[in-house]
Amino acid sequence: MNIYVSNLSFQVGDEDLKGFFAAHGEVTSAKVITDRETNRSRGFGFVEMSNDTEAETAIKNLNGSVVDGRSISVNVARPKEKSGFKKNNNFWK
């Protein structure tokens, strides 16, 4: 299951994020999203857990918890929506 975590402190890194969830089960990946230009955290990330039951428990237990003075939001990640802009419109001709 892929999990979306928001309102992270800018000091939280990938390993920190992984550690928050590891207490609830096996974490297959954890990534804090960073700005391309500054390489600074954007305040959110994604965690992938191999067991859905463990992931649901982690979401339930961690959503609303305080990490580095910030109340984090933890939810099931939704698939990325497609952009409404189409490359084949008249703009490109």
Q: What's the pTM value of the predicted model, to 2 decimals?
A: 0.82
- Residue 87 above 90 pLDDT? no
The number of distinct structural domains making up the chain is: 1
- Residue 51 above 70 pLDDT? yes
Confidence tier at 8 by pLDDT (50, 70, 90):
very high
pLDDT of residue 66: 94
Q: Residue 91 domain-assigned?
A: no
Domain of 74 in residue numbering reads as 2-78
Tell me the CATH number at 30.
3.30.70.330
Q: Residue 86 domain-assigned?
A: no
Instruction: Please report how the helices 52-62 and 14-22 are oriented relative to each other, as an axis angle in degrees rounded to 10.
Output: 100
pLDDT of residue 80: 75
Q: What is the per-residue DSSP string for the chain?
A: -EEEEES--TT--HHHHHHHHHTTS-EEEEEEEE-TTT--EEEEEEEEES-HHHHHHHHHHHTT-EETTEE-EEEEPPPPPPPS--TTSGGG-
